[in-house]
């Protein structure tokens, strides 16, 4: 039986229905999608000030205020195209999970192999999108490197004072540590720089353990008043064990009547690089503050492929034949960049140096 190549529409259908794993940074902070059919991705940022209106005499003309205008920031997206082989020689062997002796035809196995390839390529790209979102949120920049690709740093210009690396006895767990004060100072600074509150803390496991070891933190989370720290709601820390996601809701910090509410999550997830080495998305000692004002955008540049019509798509799958030896290739292409439009609505605390 002859095998027919899937059409582009059919492959796009496979991409849409294939489930993906959890994408914490992408799903929570980068909800908008924008496509650009240009070489660069560009954003306009309106420059605002905190100037007071001037006092004047009521009998003189009003003062003309100079417009602050806007600045345009341009970013060049990276490019990725995971690729696989569908080998016709392998479709005559039983698939994993298939009945002993085989219950599928070669054509069915070939179709299953195509779907599996496209699903794996989509999953790899989704992990890449999530990794880019994580780096942009945690560090305010993304370092892009790869085979035959010179290393480039995409810097989103987060205010340097929104990154704090604790050292010496100020490290969480040490004698002079004050986790609540560190968070208060970074929240205040982020609000002044971004105009939006920080409403979520994402902590590495070690950072959370050291955070909760502080007696003032325990009192606040348990709803007790300590000094001038306001009482929380009746919410307490979750006593549940590990969930089926890499993140877990652990409680809420808030003042009287819910003022200053900040949700606390722990996060622990890894990815593999192209050599199979495992890496953490976020250091277990880090604390990342985020707010709704981050306005994260999933940006996608043009697909540099004639069959895609040179248009911008999140993922463009394709497949083609090689005649001798007989092979079919599948490949999924994307030109992604996850952009925090208001990167100052984030902060990072490294709770211990050297980690």
Q: Tell whether 300 is covered by a domain.
A: yes
Q: What is the pLDDT of residue 113?
A: 79
Q: Given this model, what pLDDT does residue 310 score?
A: 72
Residue 51 in domain:
no
In a domain, 58, yes or no: no
Question: For residue 3, what pLDDT is reported?
Answer: 53
Q: With respect to residue 62, please indicate whether it lies within any of the assigned structural domains.
A: no
* Whole-Å CA distances, 121 to 20, 51, 57: 11, 51, 68
* Number of structural domains in the chain: 1
Is 57 among the domain residues? no
pLDDT tens figures, 35-74: 887 767 766 665 556 666 665 556 555 445 555 555 666 7
**Residues of the domain holding 11:** 1-46+73-355
CATH, residue 184: 3.15.30.10
Determine the pLDDT at residue 19.
52
* Assigned domain for 156 exists: yes
Q: Which residues of the chain have pLDDT under 50?
A: 1-2, 62-63, 92, 94-102, 224-242
324 assigned to some structural domain: yes
pLDDT score, position 224: 45
Q: What is the pLDDT of residue 136?
A: 94
The pLDDT, as a whole number, for residue 92 is 46
Give the model's pLDDT for residue 139. 96
Q: Is residue 9 part of a domain?
A: yes
Q: How many CB atoms lie within 10 A of CB 231?
A: 16
């Amino acid at each position: 039986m002859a095998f027919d190549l899937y059409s582009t529409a059919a492959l796009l259908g496979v991409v849409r229905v294939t489930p993906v794993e959890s994408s914490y940074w992408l799903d929570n902070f980068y909800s908008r999608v924008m496509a650009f059919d240009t070489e660069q991705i560009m954003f306009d940022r309106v420059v605002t000030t905190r100037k007071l209106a001037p006092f004047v005499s009521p009998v003189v003309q009003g003062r003309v205020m100079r417009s602050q205008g806007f600045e345009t920031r341009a970013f060049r997206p990276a490019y990725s195209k995971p690729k696989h082989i569908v080998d016709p020689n392998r479709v005559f062997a039983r698939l994993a999970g298939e009945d002993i002796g085989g219950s599928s035809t070669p054509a069915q196995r070939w179709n299953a192999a195509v779907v599996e390839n496209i699903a794996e390529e989509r999953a790899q790209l989704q992990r890449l999108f999530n990794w880019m979102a994580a780096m942009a949120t945690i560090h305010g920049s993304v370092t892009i490197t790869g085979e035959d690709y010179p290393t480039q740093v995409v810097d989103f210009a987060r205010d340097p004072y929104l990154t704090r690396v604790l050292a010496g006895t100020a490290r969480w767990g040490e004698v002079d540590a004050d986790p609540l004060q560190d968070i208060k100072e970074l929240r205040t600074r982020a609000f002044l720089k971004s105009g939006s509150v920080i409403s979520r803390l994402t902590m590495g496991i070690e950072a959370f353990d050291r955070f909760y070891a502080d007696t003032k933190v325990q009192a606040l989370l348990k709803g007790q008043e300590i000094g001038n720290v306001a009482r929380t709601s009746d919410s307490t820390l979750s006593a549940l064990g590990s969930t089926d996601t890499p993140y877990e809701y652990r409680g809420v910090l808030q003042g009287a009547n819910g003022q200053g509410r900040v949700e606390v999550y722990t996060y622990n997830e890894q990815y593999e690089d192209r050599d199979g080495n495992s890496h953490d998305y976020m250091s277990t000692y880090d604390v990342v503050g985020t707010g709704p004002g981050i306005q994260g955008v999933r940006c996608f540049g043009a697909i540099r492929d004639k069959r895609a019509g040179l248009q911008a798509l999140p993922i463009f799958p394709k497949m083609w034949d090689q005649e001798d030896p007989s092979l079919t290739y599948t490949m999924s292409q994307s030109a992604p960049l996850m952009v925090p439009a208001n990167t100052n609505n984030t902060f990072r605390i490294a709770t211990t140096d050297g980690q």
